[in-house]
Every structure is written in structure tokens, then in C-alpha cells.
Amino acid sequence: MSFLILVRHGQSIWNLENKFTGWVDVDLTKKGESEAEKAGLLIKKKNIQINFYYSSLQLRANNTLKIIQTVLNDKKDFVRAWQLNERHYGALTGLNKIEMSKKIGEEKVYEFRRSWDIKPDALKKESPYHPENIKIYKNIPKEMIPDTESLKNTYERVTKYFEKEIQKKLDDKNVLISAHGNSIRALCKKLFNLDNNQISSLEIPTGNPLIIELDKNSKIIKCEYLDKERAKNLPIF
């Protein structure tokens, strides 16, 4: 038996400002730090020995994980992987979601946010929000850096990395991943075998650990959000 714990980072500055964030590297708000601390306390109560930690390259996910590890008094190094980054929102990056809803319509914004294979327009390379202009991405091969992504694109990079680097560790070890709304949704699609309609309606709350219990054949036995008051709809398995 093993455990996989998925944690979306706590509230970020751009979450609070209701902006499309994507690959822009913003930090947590004070509320986000509190959510991460509470996540750590809830995980601690489960008394699970975590063997491996993973996160994206992005500050909000990294700092969420660091706060969790501080609460757990666990100083293990964690792996940072760009493949676990949030979905790239292309030309929507930095724009306010409510203002965009007024400008192009709620239905169109929802389509960009939740459709399976529709991408926003590409973000221009001269934008300060383009990953090529953000220091933390300087070691990623340029041909791998997206200008925009659909959820399908995000799913492909996230699950490819999961299958190669993480899945084998779940044979008998416990893993915690601190990542993002869409990278975790992508993982849930794979783990729970969700179809494209199910994934479009799956909400991932900030700073609320989703704990997945697996048997020796990596079959899901049980899953639950640890913060019951802020639990969203669980994937069906």
C-alpha cells in the first residue's frame, strides 16, 4: 500500500487579483501561506512517512511545499520539474478574468479555461510574461517552452513526466506533489480515468491535500480531501 498526496499551492497574489497566471512566477499571499500551513497540519495528523517530494519550478508551489515540510519537520530535498508547471494561458496571461468575461463573454472565457483542446492565442515572445523572459526557465530547452497551451497539452507533459519519474515510486513508497490547478487536474484525469467532460468540471481547491491510497497493484482504494470544509467534488474511481 502507498499514498499519493496532491496539493495545489495556496492562494497566490494573482489568484487574489483574479488574473490568468500560467507560467508567471508569482508568490503566495498571507492567506496562501496559512492554507499551506493548514495543509501541513492535516497531513501531519495522517502520520504518513513521505518518501519523495515533487513540485514545479514555480515559486507559489515551491513555497507551499516548503511550508508543508516545515510543519512536518521534514528537511528532505524535493525535485523541481517544469513539467509540473501550471498550464500556459498564452495571450490571456496577466489579464483579469472578470474583465475578459465582460469583453469577450463568459462562455468564451470558460471555453478557454476548461475546454480540453482549445488554446488561447499565443503569447508574444517580447512580453515580459513569456517564459523565455523569466529567469527560472532559462535552463529549459527553448523548443520545449510553450507560447500557449490547452489542457490537453498540459496533460501530455504532466503525465509523461509522472509516468517516467514518479509512478514507479508508488509501488511501495509515499509521494507528495505540490503543483497547480491544471497540472493536478491533468494527473487526476490519468489516475481516475476521467473523460474530457468530467475533467472540465473538476475543481481543485487551493491548499487542500487530496490524499489517494493505492494498493500494491497501484489501484486506487480510497481518496479524500483532508480539509472537509473546503473539499470540492472528488474524482470518481
Catalytic residue positions, numbered: 9, 86
Residue 64 contacts residue 100 (beta carbons within 8 Å): no
Query: Which residue type does 176 have?
Result: L
- Cα 184 from Cα 75, distance rounded (Å): 24
Count of residues making up the chain: 237
Q: Which ranges constitute the DSSP H helices of the chain?
A: 13-16, 30-46, 59-72, 97-104, 106-114, 151-161, 181-191, 196-200
For the residues of 15-55, what is the DSSP string, one character each? HHTTB--TT----B-HHHHHHHHHHHHHHHHHT----EEEE
